[in-house]
Structures are given as C-alpha cells and as structure tokens.
Amino acid sequence: MFETHNSVANHKFVIYQMAKPGQKHFRVGISVGKKIGNAVHRNWVKRRIRQTLLEVKPQLKQDVDFLVIARPAADGLEMAETRKNLVHVLKRAHLLTEKSEDR
C-alpha cells in the first residue's frame, strides 16, 4: 500500500502517507514496535499518539491515509513532548493545514 516510500521522519516518529483524492476523511494507522518496552509501555505510547491526533484533527488533511510509526526514542516521552514531536513530523509531511497553531 505504501510502496512509493513517501515518508517523513524525525528522531521520535516516522510517517508514511498516501494520497486518497476524493476521500471524505483521513485514515490513520499507529505502529509501536517491540523495541519500545513491554505491552504497557507500547499501549501508553499509542494512547499519547491518539490523543495528539485527536487534538490536531481539525487541522489534518482529510484526503490522505497515513501511518505513524513510533521509534524507540518515543518511549517515556511526556504528553507535551509527544505532541511537539508528532506535530513537527506532521508539518514536515505537509499533513497539517495552514491554520494549525502550536499550543
């Protein structure tokens, strides 16, 4: 599905994206590998990613599918750090619209 390798990354996250013209809303996948602690830590990271995406949802492009992959450096991040790093990589991937603002 993502064989075109349209990816953007920073030290904490990688985002693969695929344009879906005409799609009414975005779809997202979240991947947290076993290099990030045990199941409790992995779920903790996934919850923080989901919450960040929920907060920036109004600014996200709707006609795209994307995959967020957490790198091992994402383990143990506070919510503010997770949000900052994820918003940074979303901006680099041009998935946030112009009206987005950092809090």
- What CATH number has the domain bearing residue 76? 3.30.230.10
Residue 101 lies in a domain: no
How far is residue 49's CA from residue 3's CA, in Å, rounded to a whole number?
24
Domain with 76, as residue range(s), is 7-93
* Confidence at residue 87, expressed as pLDDT on a 0 to 100 scale: 95
Distance CA 17, CA 14 (A): 10
- 99 inside domain: no
Residue 53 in domain: yes
> DSSP class of residue 81?
H
* Burial class of 103 by CB neighbour count within 10 A (0 to 12, 13 to 18, 19+): exposed
Size of the chain, expressed as the number of residues it contains = 103
Task: Give domain status of residue 21, yes or no.
Answer: yes
Is there a domain that residue 75 lies in? yes
Give residue 100's pLDDT.
44
The H helix count followed by the E strand count for the chain is 2, 4
Q: What is the mean pLDDT of each run of 10 residues along the chain (103 residues)?
A: 73 92 89 93 94 94 92 92 95 80 51
Total number of domains in the chain: 1
The answer as to whether 88 is a domain residue is yes
